[in-house]
Amino acid sequence: MDESTKKTAIDTLNRILELELAGVVRYTHYSLMVFGYTRIPIVSWFKANAEEGLVHAHQAGELVTSLGGHPSLKIGELIETAKHDIGDILRESLEHEQKALDAYYALLKIAQGHSVLLEEYARQMIVKEEMHLDEVNKMLKRPGSAK
């Protein structure tokens, strides 16, 4: 991998690291803001996503250092909409997951033909992010709705 491609990969991995850390904060916050009779399973889901985000952030940081870069200390954008209806929270989550998915696709494009390691990492993470998007989309559907 030439130096220019390596720098672009490191920058993209740092963006992913920042997004994943923002996800940890977001999902932790969301888990604290859920109320109502369906609270327990939704809180557990948000907590699990926060824990997974931390693992993903660590993986991205490890790849940054493997490429000779310095992991970012920044956290991605955190916006407080003050909308705490579960639907609003899930729509914010959907937007966040889409940004992460876009970043992993960007990494895949950079890595193609340059690093099988980064390609495979990006592909695995794309699968996970697409599954998260699918989960959230299903959660936003009305019970009994198959469409």
Question: What DSSP line would sit under 59-100, residue for residue?
Answer: HHHHHHHHTT----------------SHHHHHHHHHHHHHHH
* Run of H or E residues at 18: helix 3-32
At residue 147, the pLDDT reads 66
What is the pTM assigned to this prediction? 0.93
Integer Cα distance of 134 and 117 in angstroms = 26
Contact (CB, 8 A) for 112 and 91: no
Backbone angles phi, psi at 38, to 5 degrees: -105, 15
Could you write out the DSSP letters of every residue in 116-133? HHHHHHHHHHHHHHHHHH
Each residue's pLDDT, cut to its tens digit, for the chain (147 residues) gives 899 999 999 999 999 999 999 999 999 999 999 999 989 999 999 999 999 999 999 999 999 999 999 999 999 988 777 878 899 999 999 999 999 999 999 999 999 999 999 999 999 999 999 999 999 999 998 887 766
**Domains along the sequence of the chain with CATH:** 3-71+84-140 (1.20.1260.10)
